[in-house]
Amino acid sequence: LDKKEEIPFGDPDECEIRAASILAVHIIVNYANDKIPLEKDTGDGGQRLNAPVVDVYLWRRRRQLNHLYKQTPFHRTRSIFY
């Protein structure tokens, strides 16, 4: 990451990074849904937090705080899936 070299899509390192990101989001979703009560009961379990919402939130939040993370390396992969 420090070298700022592109990691090819499908490379084992890229897959590991992507898998860790997916796992982290699911851990956050599960923890939040266990700890945060539903705001309203619709009779069908109400609305709960889900992975796409958390993923987009984290991506947007990182973009908002870009000035704080200029020195933090990130992986570079060309793909339509990011």
Residue 9: per-residue pLDDT: 84
Residue 72: per-residue pLDDT: 65
Ramachandran region, residue 43 (left: φ > 0; alpha: ψ -120 to 50; beta: rest): left
The structure tokens listed for 51 are 């992975």
Report the b/e string of 37-46 with b at 16+ CB within 10 A.
eeeeeeeeee
- The pLDDT tens digits for 2-48 are 677 778 888 898 888 889 989 999 999 999 988 876 666 556 566 67
Residue 7: per-residue pLDDT: 81
Distance CA 64, CA 62 (A): 5
* Domain range summary for the chain, segments of one domain joined by +: 1-82
Whole-model pTM over 0.95: no
